[in-house]
Amino acid sequence: MSFRVALDETDSDDDELLNYSFAAEAAKRRRLAGPVRDQVARARRVGAAAKPRAAPVRPSPQARAPGGPLLSRLPETCRGRMRELHGRLVAFLQEDTMQDTHSYSLCASIGLAIERLLHPTDKVFANTLQRSTRLQLGTRDEDGLEMLATLLRSYKTLSDVWGYDADGHAHTRYEDKMHAVHAVYGCTYPISDILFRNLARAAAGRPLDVHDGVLGRSGNKWEAHSGSTRPGEFCEFDGTQGRAMRALFADYSNELV
């Protein structure tokens, strides 16, 4: 809004001239002030750029959290490691196009055993049994078995925590608990042996054997055969055997590694 418009309309000619002169003078001052203002602003920018900036002071971790970190990484459990191993076994099968080989059959067997151990339910047992019937022994492939052994070697701690001995003798911890009660042993070992025997053999640098998978020398270890007395084929999940097996697997799965 101009200075002239703010005056009363009844002002005389002298007032108009005075106001015009004042407005002209104000405009002149503004024109002169512009370059000066720009120079000052430019000088300030140059000075600010040339002035060294002090590094920001960051509080030490102790200062940020006087009582230690607010959150720490959760401890790893056997359950988490088994899930990780299962994922790597899935990838191994996807890379191994030779489905009629020992490495393929053994890899799938270990993965199915992990599923049973993590979820010992009627539904999972029936589903893994159905899938196990598609397995074939196939032909021995040294390269594939060595690759599988290398993968398993990274998970040696799982068999250590379980207590399986590669020689099949000096059992400890959960393996020992399983052997102590025949009913628990008969319901559990057809699953646990497939996982922990192969882990122990791989860790000891021994060759893997396809018969340590679901397909044993007498056929599918998880199938019930007429007249057979082999333990492990009949496990009543609602009975003492099933409850004891589930408790054993749950305790092991929650073990820290």
Q: What is the mean pLDDT of residues 170-195?
A: 91
Contact indicator for 236, 242 with CB cutoff of 8 Å:
yes
CA distance 68 to 76: 20
Tell me the pLDDT band of 99, cut-offs 50, 70 and 90.
Answer: confident
Cβ atoms within 10 Å of 185's Cβ, excluding its own: 20
The 10s digit of each residue's pLDDT in 193-234 is 999 999 999 999 999 999 999 999 989 999 875 444 444 455
Which of 52-61, 111-120, 162-171 is predicted with the least confidence, judged by mean pLDDT?
52-61
> How high is the pLDDT of residue 49?
56
Top pLDDT among 59 and 230 is at: 59
Query: Helix 182-203 crosses helix 142-153 at what angle (to 10 degrees)?
Result: 110
For residue 219, the cross-strand partners are 216
Top pLDDT among 29 and 226 is at: 29
> How high is the pLDDT of residue 138?
93
Tell me the pLDDT band of 55, cut-offs 50, 70 and 90.
Answer: low
CA distance 22 to 61: 65
Contact indicator for 91, 109 with CB cutoff of 8 Å:
no
Contact indicator for 157, 109 with CB cutoff of 8 Å:
no
CA distance 174 to 166: 15
